[in-house]
Structures are given as structure tokens and as C-alpha cells.
């Protein structure tokens, strides 16, 4: 019967999410055991997650030992881009899965010596929907959107903004050529989550990258 089928799907989902949260709590403990500050970065394909990680890595790699874990469906393009900026990277290919989950991260923790790092960044698979269900065990979640996604992108994806700590609105160097109401984007983010720290950046001009780094490492 269709109802039975539906309830099975719901149970499976609840199980998946519960198991994920349990393992995420263990990941969090492992990170804190080694005094690691950890972040995961979510956002659509092309928002600028990797470009921001390149800029952040360039900014901090001389002062901090950084590990970047890159989730991607198939390639290690992002990891190779970031590694040029003096940090260690690990690529996880998720295949058919549309987001990283806490099991992926637990495997990295199991197989690498965390005592080599002060900071871990996790770039999630480009997707504004799937990562909402899967926490990874990091201290803070950063959601990245760009103004090229249109001024409605935040309003349309409230879940991701509710469960994030920092919102980056990227590609502000394009404000002159796009008809985008960035104030609406900021207000939507504030309305969805009044605790969000919101910052507008450009990885091309470097505008507010230093300020973003300060937000990441303030308490
Ligand atoms: N104009 C502009 N382009 C950017 C900016 N940040 C990233 N890009 C470009 O957007 C594209 C996607 O960036 P990428 O970092 O790969 O996005 P990701 O899929 O979120 O990791 C690349 O061509 C970047 O050069 C920005 O601040 N301004
Ligand atoms: Mg990327």
C-alpha cells in the first residue's frame, strides 16, 4: 500500500539522519581533542566556495596548519586548486551522493593524523538542498551564495541559512553589471537567522577577505 511505503521511507530517513548526527558528535569530539577549529562550507555549484578557500588559505597558511577536505562528485579539481596555496587537501568523491555526510569525515579522521593541523575546512558538494540534512561535526557552518544566483536565492533556501553560522554573499565585484538587490539578500538572511554573521566578498578584488578571516577566527 502506498501509505506503508511512505512510512518506510520516512523511517529510513529518520534513521539516516539520527545515525549521521551521532557520528557528527563523535567527529566534533575528535576535532576538539586536537584543538582544531573546524568549518564546513556549503553553497551552490559556482558560488565561489573553492575560490574563497583559495583566498583564505593564501591568507592564513603561513600562520596556521590547514587541512581542506573537498567533497566533489567525481574530480579532484578543487583540491588541486586549493593545494597551490600552501595547505594540505584531501579529496572525497561522493559519486551519486549529493552531499558529504559525517561518515565521510569520520573516515578522514580515522586515517589521518589530526595532530598535524590547527584548522580544518570542509568544502561540501555544490548543492543548496542536500547538505541541510547532514551535519558533519564542525564548529561552524559557512553558507556561500553569489549575487549571480539572483536576489531570491536566500529566501528560497531558508533551511541552509537557519543551520549556518556565517553567510558569505560573494562576487560583489559584479554588482555594477548585474541588476541585483543585495540589500534584500542581506535582509532575507537576517530575517531567516538573526544570529548569522553576514559578509559580502569578492575573491577577484579581495574585498572583505581579511574581514572574513577575522570573523572565522573570532569567537
Ligand atoms: N566575478 C567573480 N567571480 C568569482 C568570484 N568568486 C569565484 N568566482 C568565479 O566563479 C567560478 C566558480 O568558482 P568556484 O570557486 O569554482 O565555485 P564553487 O563551485 O562554489 O567551488 C569560477 O570561475 C571563479 O573564478 C568572485 O568573487 N567574483
Ligand atoms: Mg568548488
Mapping DSSP onto H, E and C, the string for 22-91 reads HHHHHHHHHHHHCCCEEEEEEECCCCCHHHHHHHHHHHHCCCCCEEEEEEECCCCHHHHHHHCCCCEEEE
Q: What is the DSSP letter of 151?
A: T
The pTM for the full model equals: 0.93
- What is the spatial distance between Cα 113 and Cα 23, in angstroms, rounded to a whole number? 19
Which residue has a Cα nearest atom 8 of ligand 1? 48
In the predicted model, is pLDDT for residue 10 greater than 80?
no
- What is the spatial distance between Cα 166 and Cα 140, in angstroms, rounded to a whole number? 8
Say what the pLDDT of residue 74 is: 87
> How would residue 183 be classed by pLDDT, with cut points 50, 70 and 90?
very high
Regarding the beta carbon of 49 and ligand 1, being less than 6 Å apart is answered: yes
> How would residue 3 be classed by pLDDT, with cut points 50, 70 and 90?
low
Q: Which three cell numbers stand for residue 99?
A: 552531499
| Burial degree of 126 (CB within 10 A; 0-12, 13-18, 19+) | buried
Q: How far is CA 160 from CA 146, 177, 181, 192, in A?
A: 15, 28, 20, 10
Residue 218 backbone phi and psi in degrees, to 5: -90, 165
pLDDT tens-place string over residues 15-70: 888 999 999 999 999 999 999 999 999 999 999 999 999 999 999 999 999 999 99
Q: How far is CA 156 from CA 123, 137, 153, 189, in A?
A: 21, 25, 5, 11
Regarding the beta carbon of 66 and ligand 1, being less than 6 Å apart is answered: no
Say what the pLDDT of residue 122 is: 97
Q: What is the DSSP letter of 130?
A: G
Say what the pLDDT of residue 96 is: 85
Q: Which residues surround ligand 2, an ion (CB under 5 A)?
A: 49-50, 78
Of the listed ligands, the closest to the CA of 79 is 2
Q: Which three cell numbers stand for residue 108?
A: 578522514
pLDDT tens-place string over residues 63-108: 999 999 999 888 899 999 999 999 999 999 988 889 999 999 999 9
In the predicted model, is pLDDT for residue 120 greater than 70?
yes
Say what the pLDDT of residue 133 is: 87
pLDDT tens-place string over residues 127-177: 999 898 899 999 999 999 999 999 999 999 999 999 999 999 999 999 999
User: Is pLDDT larger for residue 106 or for residue 13?
Assistant: 106
3-state secondary structure at position 133: helix
Mean per-residue pLDDT for 171-188?
Answer: 97
Say what the pLDDT of residue 85 is: 97
- Rounded distance from Cα 110 to ligand 2 centre (Å): 24
In the predicted model, is pLDDT for residue 9 greater than 70?
no
Of the listed ligands, the closest to the CA of 143 is 1
Which residue has a Cα nearest atom 6 of ligand 1? 48
**Counting atoms of ligand 1 from 1, which one is nearest the CA of 123?**
21
Helix (H) or strand (E) holding 143: strand 140-146
In the predicted model, is pLDDT for residue 5 greater than 80?
no
- Rounded distance from Cα 106 to ligand 1 centre (Å): 29
Regarding the beta carbon of 208 and ligand 1, being less than 6 Å apart is answered: no
* 170, β-bridge pairs: 146
Regarding the beta carbon of 73 and ligand 1, being less than 6 Å apart is answered: no
Cα 14 to the chain's mean position, in Å? 23
Regarding the beta carbon of 171 and ligand 1, being less than 6 Å apart is answered: yes
Amino acid at each position: 500500500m502506498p501509505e506503508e511505503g511512505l512510512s518506510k521511507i520516512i523511517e529510513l530517513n529518520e534513521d539516516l539522519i539520527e545515525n549521521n548526527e551521532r557520528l557528527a558528535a563523535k567527529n566534533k569530539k575528535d576535532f576538539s581533542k586536537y584543538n582544531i577549529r573546524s568549518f564546513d562550507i556549503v553553497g551552490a555549484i559556482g558560488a565561489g566556495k573553492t575560490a574563497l578557500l583559495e583566498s583564505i588559505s593564501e591568507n592564513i597558511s603561513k600562520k596556521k596548519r590547514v587541512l581542506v577536505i573537498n567533497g566533489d562528485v567525481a574530480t579532484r579539481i578543487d583540491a588541486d586548486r586549493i593545494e597551490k596555496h600552501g595547505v594540505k587537501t584531501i579529496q572525497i568523491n561522493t559519486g551519486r551522493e549529493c552531499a558529504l555526510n559525517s561518515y565521510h569525515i569520520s573516515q578522514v579522521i580515522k586515517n589521518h593524523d589530526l595532530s598535524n593541523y590547527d584548522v580544518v575546512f570542509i568544502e561540501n558538494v555544490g548543492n543548496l538542498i542536500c547538505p541541510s540534512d547532514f551535519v558533519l561535526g564542525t564548529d561552524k557552518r559557512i553558507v556561500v551564495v553569489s549575487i549571480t544566483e539572483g536576489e531570491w536565492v536566500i529566501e528560497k533556501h531558508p533551511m541552509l541559512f537557519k543551520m549556518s553560522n556565517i553567510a558569505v554573499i560573494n562576487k560583489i565585484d559584479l554588482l555594477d553589471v548585474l541588476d541585483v538587490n543585495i540589500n534584500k539578500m542581506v535582509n532575507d538572511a537576517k530575517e531567516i537567522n538573526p544570529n548569522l554573521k553576514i559578509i559580502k566578498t569578492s575573491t577577484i578584488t579581495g574585498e572583505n577577505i581579511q574581514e572574513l578571516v577575522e570573523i572565522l577566527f573570532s569567537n
